[in-house]
Each structure stands twice: as C-alpha cells, then as structure tokens.
Amino acid sequence: MSLILQDVCITPKSGAPLFAPLSLTIGLGQIGAVMGPSGAGKSTLLAAIAGHLPQGFSLSGEITLNGARMNDTAPQLRRIGIMFQDALLFPHLSLADNLAFGLPAQIKGAAARTAAVEQALAAAGLTGMGARDPATLSGGERARAALMRSLLAQPQAILLDEPFSKLDTALRAGIRAFAFDHIRASAIPALIVTHDDNDAAAAGGPFLNLGRQAG
C-alpha cells in the first residue's frame, strides 16, 4: 500500500517535457521529497497527482495510490489531500467551520462533529479559537489549521506544496516537525516539494532532485 509514481512526465502543449520521466515509491507513513529550483515543474507535478493539471499540459506515466490507478480519476474522488504555502483557509468560514469542511459527512450529528473539530483544534494547539476569523490567525496557526483540515478528510495520501516557505525561519522547524509528526501518525504516504534542503532532510523518505535530473 503506497503512492507510486512510475515514469511520470508532464509536457506542455507546445514545448519540451518539464522534467525527465520520474519514478518514486512512497510507503505508508513515509514522506517523500522532490527538490528543485523554481520553474522546475514541482508544483505542476503535485497538481497532476492531485488531479488539477492546468489546461494545456499532458501527463504520461502511471500514478497509483494503494493499488488504484489515479490518472483519470476525478480530483474529488482521489482522496489525496494537498497543502499549499498559503494555508487557503476559506475566508467566509470561521476556523472551526473550516475544519468541519474537511470532516467527512459520514460523521453525523452536530455534537459528534463539534467534538471531532474540537479535538483537531486541540491537537493543533488552537483550543478555544474555533470561532475566530481565519484572517486574524498568525501564519503558523493557519498552517497548522490547514493541515488539520486536510487530515480530517481522512485522505489516503497527502501532498505538500512548499508549505513552510512563507513562514518565519524561527517558526519553520517547529511547524515542520508538527506537520511531519501528524502525517507519520496517520500512516499515509506523503510527498513534499520544496527548495529547502532542511525540509527534505527532515522528511527522511525517498528523494528526487528535478533540477539535476532534467539536466
């Protein structure tokens, strides 16, 4: 059971492939990392895995999650969570409602749902802040809340698109440790793209460098 990329390559409508075909196998609880300079196609790779490949790009190779081929699955059915450098909490919802947005509908009843959200808030060190407007949170708080929202949806894999790059250097290590601990505890494969060597080192999983591969 794992996230497997096999000979994955992304080609713009007119032009050369963004990178040479790449293969990567990430097991449960592992955090793989893809490094590379800006413009190497890291974010486009994650978009392809999540199912949001922009118009004008084509994907070749195989993306498999837990044995199921993902290439043509609708993004909302892939059960692949994604976290961006902007936490992208929805501005019209309170912090608690943002987390409830991730919670599956199978958890029924206001009491049960509130309890699940409260638990996630506590795990993120945000106890008692559920009613807050997300815009009033600090960068670190937003990042922790966004990760919790992704995990509440019970994804089968999670993708991290330079999630720490906008945080203060002082905060970065702490948030990274928080995120990686929670992902490992969820026992799902994760893939981070980054240009920060420290991220890749902390991930400790399979590793690829796009820039070097593409020459």
- What does the binding site for another protein look like in residue numbers (CB under 8 A)? 47, 50-52, 55, 74-82, 84, 86, 88, 90-94, 97, 100-105, 107, 110, 113, 149-150, 153, 155, 159
CB–CB of 96/152 below 8 Å?
no
In the complex, the smallest distance separating the C-beta of residue 163 from another protein, rounded to whole angstroms, is: 12
Q: CB of residue 152 vs another protein: minimum separation in angstroms?
A: 8
Neighbours of 208 (CB within 10 A): 21
Give SS3 for 126: coil
Query: Do β-strands 22-27 and 2-12 pair in parallel, antiparallel, or remain unpaired?
Result: antiparallel
Of 16 and 77, CB closest to another protein: 77
Q: In the bound complex, what is the minimum distance in angstroms from residue 167's beta carbon to another protein?
A: 18
- Which one, 77 or 170, has the nearer CB to another protein? 77
DSSP bridge pairs for 208:
34
Q: What residues contact residue 98 under an 8 Å CB cut-off, 6+ apart? A: 89, 90, 134, 145, 149
In the chain, the amino acid numbered 208 is L
Which one, 2 or 98, has the nearer CB to another protein?
98
Least separation in angstroms between residue 104's CB and another protein is 6
Can you name the residues that pair with 22 across neighbouring β-strands?
A: 8
**Residue (of 152, 37, 135, 30) closest to 86 by Cα position:** 135
What φ, ψ does residue 56 adopt, rounded to 5°? 95, 0
Nearer to another protein among residue 40 and residue 100 (C-beta): 100
Question: What residue type is 85 in one-letter code?
Answer: Q
Closer to another protein by Cβ: residue 72 or 92: 92
Which C-beta is closer to another protein: that of 38 or that of 106? 106
User: What whole-number distance in Å separates Cα of residue 142 and Cα of residue 134?
Assistant: 7
Considering the complex, what minimum distance in angstroms separates the CB of residue 86 from another protein? 7
For residue 200, the minimal CB distance to another protein (Å) is 22
